């Protein structure tokens, strides 16, 4: 089945130690998104790629970076995680950009910062 | 200003009953998409149903239907014959263009639905 895959499902890191979360998709979708969801809150968009074009949200901290080496894979890099970065990180894809396009989410990666 | 409003933080419903989850939205765009997602305790965000602003008929997907009232700017989710597995957080979301010129999905604050046996 076509799907969005995130690894690992759970990630523990130390304060200030760089960490990378990965997302892959078999849907061949053009757009990939990264969301941050803190406990009991709605997901918040960090950035997205349309093909190779990177689009950052204005309020996304510089501590968060992303890479998309090819259509299938997208990575979220947190350069120096703080305690406030502990959250669920959700990857999503959509076939194209556009207000009528559905986004499909992966299972998420729960990040714990010690 | 709140773009998506879900006024029910939590709901308890008896198994097999129908349930309506409320969602109102605010936009000046003519073209927009409205989505409902289910998020169980495992954390995965599961797409349920979609309604385009130009769709004249209410969307339906199995036990899920979307009661779309464009003039009132509401897009309520109706779940018929609720099951224990429906217990989860439900998010209403709207696709829009952000202030930064990017398209994004804006979520409401969610409704936690609990189905009682």
pLDDT of res. A96: 81
* Distance in Å from the first CA to the final CA of chain B: 38
* Contact check, Cβ <8 Å, B97/A102: no
SS (H, E, C) chain B: CCCEECCCCEEEEECCCCEEECCEECCCCCCCEEEEEEECCCCCCEEEEEEECCCCCCCEECCEEEEEECCCCEEEEEECCCCHHHCEEEEEEEEEECCCCCEEEEECCCEEEEEEC
pLDDT of res. A97: 74
In angstroms, the CA B117 to CA B111 distance is 19
Percent of chain A with pLDDT over 70: 97
* Contact check, Cβ <8 Å, B47/A102: yes
Tokens of B85: 């597995």
pLDDT of res. B56: 87
* Contact check, Cβ <8 Å, A102/B50: yes
Per-residue pLDDT of chain B (117 residues), as tens digits, is 558 999 999 999 999 999 999 999 998 888 888 999 999 998 889 999 999 988 889 999 999 999 999 999 999 999 999 999 999 999 999 987 655 555 678 899 999 999 999
A55 neighbors A112 (Cβ within 8 angstroms): no
> In 3-state terms, chain A is what percent helix, strand and coil (to 5)?
5, 50, 45
pLDDT of res. B96: 73
Between B14 and A102, name the one with better pLDDT: B14
The mean pLDDT value of chain A amounts to 93
Task: List CB contacts (< 8 A) between B110 and chain A.
Answer: 42
Burial state string for A13-23 with b = 16 or more CB within 10 A and e = fewer than 16 = beeeeebebbb
How confident is the model over A44-84, as pLDDT tens digits? 999 999 999 998 888 999 999 999 999 999 999 999 999 99
Task: List CB contacts (< 8 A) between A55 and chain B.
Answer: 100, 102
């Amino acid at each position: 089945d076509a799907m969005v895959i995130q690894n690992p499902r759970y990630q523990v890191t130390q304060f200030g130690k760089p960490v990378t979360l990965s997302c892959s998709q078999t849907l061949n979708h053009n757009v990939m998104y990264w969301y941050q969801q803190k406990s009991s809150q709605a997901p918040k968009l960090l950035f997205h790629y349309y093909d190779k074009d990177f689009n950052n949200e204005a309020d996304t901290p510089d501590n968060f970076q992303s890479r998309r080496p090819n259509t299938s894979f997208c990575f979220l890099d947190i350069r120096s995680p703080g305690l406030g970065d502990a959250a669920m990180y959700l990857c999503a894809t959509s076939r194209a950009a556009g207000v009528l396009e559905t986004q499909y989410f992966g299972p998420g990666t729960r990040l714990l910062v010690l | 200003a709140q773009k998506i409003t879900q006024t029910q933080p939590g709901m308890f419903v008896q198994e097999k009953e129908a349930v309506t989850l409320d969602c109102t939205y605010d936009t000046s765009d003519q073209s927009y998409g409205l989505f409902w997602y289910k998020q169980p305790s495992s954390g995965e965000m599961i797409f349920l149903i979609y309604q385009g602003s130009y769709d004249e008929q209410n969307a339906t997907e199995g036990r899920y239907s979307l009661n779309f009232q464009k003039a009132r700017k509401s897009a309520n989710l109706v779940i018929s014959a609720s099951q224990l597995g429906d217990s989860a957080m439900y998010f209403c979301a709207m696709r829009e263009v952000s202030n930064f010129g990017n398209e994004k999905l804006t979520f409401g604050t969610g409704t936690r639905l609990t189905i009682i046996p």
